[in-house]
Amino acid sequence: MVFPRAVVMMSRITGSISMAMTLSLLAPTTLRAQQGAAATFAALTTDSTAWHRVMVYVVERLSDELVNSAADSTAQPWELKLPADPQHALLEAQLRTILRARRAVPGDTLVRSLAIGPLVISNDTARVKVDFKETRKCPGTTRTTGFGWSTTVLLPRDPRLRYWGAARLRATLAGDRVGC
Domain tally, the chain? 2
- Do 70 and 21 belong together in one domain? no
Q: What counts of helices (H) and strands (E) characterise the chain?
A: 5, 8
- Do 101 and 137 belong together in one domain? yes
- Res 46: pLDDT: 59
- Res 31: pLDDT: 41
Query: What sign does the CA torsion over 172, 58, 168, 128 have?
Result: negative
Instruction: Pick the closest to residue 145 from 173, 109, 169 (CA basis).
Output: 109
Q: Residue 54 burial (CB < 10 Å; 0-12/13-18/19+)?
A: buried
Helix (H, G, I), strand (E, B) or coil at 160: coil
- Do 101 and 19 belong together in one domain? no
pLDDT class of 104 with cuts at 50, 70, 90: very high
Count CB neighbours of 164 within 10 A: 20
- Do 113 and 160 belong together in one domain? yes
pLDDT, tens digit, for every residue of 41-99? Answer: 334 445 788 888 899 999 999 888 888 777 777 888 999 999 988 888 888 998 998 88
What range does the domain containing 21 cover?
5-40
- Do 21 and 60 belong together in one domain? no
pLDDT, tens digit, for every residue of 132-166? Answer: 999 999 888 888 899 999 999 998 888 777 788 88
pTM surpassing 0.85? no
- Do 82 and 164 belong together in one domain? yes
Cβ atoms of residues 164 and 154 within 8 Å = no
pLDDT, tens digit, for every residue of 17-44? Answer: 554 444 444 444 444 444 444 443 334 4
